Structure 1
Amino acid sequence: MAQAKVLNPTELRRVLDYIATRRHSARNRAMLLLTHYAGMRVAEVAALRLNDVLNSDSTIKSEVRLMPQQTKGKYARTVYLNEKIQKELALYINSIRMLDMSKPLFRTQKQAGFSANSLTQYFFYLYRNVGLTGCSSHTGRRSFLTGLANKGTAIHILKSLAGHRNISTTAAYLYSSPAQLKAAVELA
């Protein structure tokens, strides 16, 4: 199976512009950007609860501690939230009325949370509706890791951010464009 497409900033903007025209735009934007700005897996996004992202004073946490049952490998890990995603989460949370902190952060129209499968399908159709081919639920995560690698982030840091146990797993996520390869050769 082919790897998910890595989006450039223009393509991500197209997706966000499309989301802005649809219902539940604050929710859908926050879900998408958790994959692009924090590198979260779709199943991890679906498993989030309000108390995972909110401090006791109702501010957004800068770190989210995922419990083993929320992660792919069943290992607890910390996800770091940059200022951009913290602002997105604050906008989304301010747009909803949620009293029960243990309920799913991202609710469906039926007031239940997304399953990993339903959120995977949402992302597939989202990218398809925007006209982007080769995208999947892993596009955000792969774009996140590749973008950081292109900015010089060491692979052992990327491994930790991704929650991988092995660097070879992380290396498989990274995409090298012909332009990057040409630029690297010029460093010699």
Structure 2
Amino acid sequence: MKQAKVLNETEIKKLMKVCELTRYAERNRLIVSLSVLSGMRACEIANLRINNVLSDTNAVLDLIVLDKEQTKGNRRQTVVVSTALKKAIQRYISTNPQLLSQDKGRFL
């Protein structure tokens, strides 16, 4: 099986700049950040739920726990949330406050 190409820092910066040109810039920046900063796969990011990243008090969690149904290998997975990723999540939530008033089981 072929390995995915690993982006260098310059390519990541270009990708983030392209995100700014899109309709849903913050969402797209968060998607790229989740992939680059945590190594999550596209299918795992697509299956993220609000309660995977936010506590009951709406604080960003230090760990993202993915149930086996949310992962490629059908195994439960834990992802460490770095400071940079935590900031990206907080920035996205601040631009979408309606997420805090929705059911925590909904998709992010």
Gap runs ≥5 in structure 1: 106-188
- Structure-2 separation of matches of 1:76 and 1:5: 25
Partner AA of 1:33 in structure 2? S
Aligned to 2:76: 76
1:56 corresponds to: 56
Task: Tell me the residue number matched to 1:100.
Answer: 103
In the aligned structure 2, how far is the partner of 1:3 from the partner of 1:71? 18
TM-score, normalised with respect to structure 2: 0.91
State the SS of the aligned residue for 1:78: strand
Cα distance in structure 2, aligned partners of 1:24 and 1:9: 23
Residue 3 of structure 1: CA displacement?
Answer: 2.9
Tell me which of the two structures has the higher relative contact order, counting C-alpha pairs closer than 8 angstroms and 6 or more residues apart.
1
Q: Quick one: which amino acid aligns to residue 79 of structure 1?
A: V
Give the root-mean-square deviation of aligned CA atoms: 1.1
Percentage of pairs with the same residue: 34
Structure 2 residue 37 is the aligned partner of structure 1 residue 37: yes
Q: Which amino acid aligns with 1:104?
A: F
CA distance in 2, matches of 1:58, 1:103: 14
Rg: which structure is higher? 1
Using the alignment, how far apart are the partners of 2:16 and 2:68 within structure 1? 31
1:64 partner SS? strand
Q: How many residues align?
A: 105
- 2:24 matches 1:21: no
TM-score, scaled to structure 1 = 0.54
